[in-house]
Amino acid sequence: MSTSDRFQTDDLDTPRLEAWRCEMHQRHGPRVTIHFTNNRRSMVSLRRLPGHGAVLRIQKGFETAPGAILEDLSLLLSRQNPAAWSRVCAFAKTLPASGPPLKAGANERVNTCGKIYDLQPLLEEINREFFDSALPTRITWGQKKPSRRGRRRSRSLQFGSWDESLDLIRIHPALDDPRVPRDFLRYLIHHELCHAASPPVPTPGGPRKIHHADFKALEARFPNRTRMEAIGKRLFNQITRERG
């Protein structure tokens, strides 16, 4: 892949960022890729690649970032640094919403408050503990589907999902149940936020890879995962048995 392919220079409205991107290429070499976006939800994201590579996506509002913030970004391209990441995220939160119109479905009704659990504080809690409150992802309980008499229910059941186009997590309404441990919902929300923080990556000639190395590294930070997976299996069997 040529330099011109990886570092396009057609964003004439961000001359300072373009100069900074060229400097980063000289400093870090071909192992890093930098994209400028108009994303109105995710102002900054950093995905690490095998072999110490990195893909950085920042909103064009970083054109006005102080030099110290750009230096923090340069540091993050080389290695993890929680303090630098916190400073970058703090600046990102000051940027006004901009960019193209929201995609179809962005105004979908969001229902976070169930009979037993309110998902919003759980989302904010996990976002703060594991992602420095940097993710703008929303969350909702999924819609209950009407039962169909005379038809056998499938044993397939998806506890949670992340809608990439809307940056929205949906949690299956069957989990709004007093028998579901709060920690399991935390685990599930953390899993879906890992998808938002480290989206699927393209593979040569094939489908995008969802559970890639960077995603797995983020997921591994949640404690007691083996116990949570066992709880998930028990809940799956319990719910599908009751539905049947």
Residues 6 or more apart in contact with residue 25 via CB below 8 angstroms? 3, 7, 32
Q: Which of 87-96, 98-107, 149-158, 224-233 has the lowest mean pLDDT?
A: 98-107
Clarify whether residues 130 and 54 are in a common domain: no
Q: 0.85 cut: is pTM over it?
A: no
Q: Which of 133, 122, 117, 193 is nearest to 161 (CA)?
A: 193
Q: Does 104 or 139 have the greater pLDDT score?
A: 139
Predicted confidence at residue 58, as pLDDT, reads 87
Q: Which of 10-24, 107-121, 124-138 has the lowest mean pLDDT?
A: 10-24
Clarify whether residues 182 and 74 are in a common domain: no
225 — pLDDT class (breaks 50, 70, 90): very high
- Based on its alpha-carbon atoms, the radius of gyration of the chain, rounded to whole angstroms, reads 20
Clarify whether residues 128 and 225 are in a common domain: yes
Clarify whether residues 134 and 201 are in a common domain: yes
* Pairing between β-strand 206-209 and β-strand 201-203 as defined by DSSP bridges: antiparallel
Q: Does 8 or 91 have the greater pLDDT score?
A: 91
Pairwise CA distance, residues 13 & 6, whole Å: 18
**Phi, psi values for residue 225, rounded to 5°:** -65, -35
Q: Which of 1-5, 32-36, 70-74, 121-125 has the lowest mean pLDDT?
A: 1-5
* Pairing between β-strand 32-37 and β-strand 53-59 as defined by DSSP bridges: parallel
Q: Which of 11-15, 82-86, 166-170, 207-211 has the lowest mean pLDDT?
A: 11-15
Three-state DSSP state, 207: strand
The domain in which residue 66 lies consists of 12-92
Domain CATH number, residue 199: 3.30.2010.10
Three-state DSSP state, 210: coil
In a domain, 86, yes or no: yes
Q: What tens digit of pLDDT does each residue of 36-60 get?
A: 887 766 788 887 776 667 888 888 8
In a domain, 156, yes or no: yes
Segment holding 124, helix H or strand E? helix 119-131
Q: Which of 64-68, 100-104, 187-191 has the lowest mean pLDDT?
A: 100-104
Q: Does the structure show a pLDDT above 60 at 2? A: no
Clarify whether residues 126 and 232 are in a common domain: yes
In a domain, 193, yes or no: yes
Residues pairing with 192 in the sheet:
none
Domains in the chain: how many in total?
2
Pairwise CA distance, residues 61 & 14, whole Å: 9
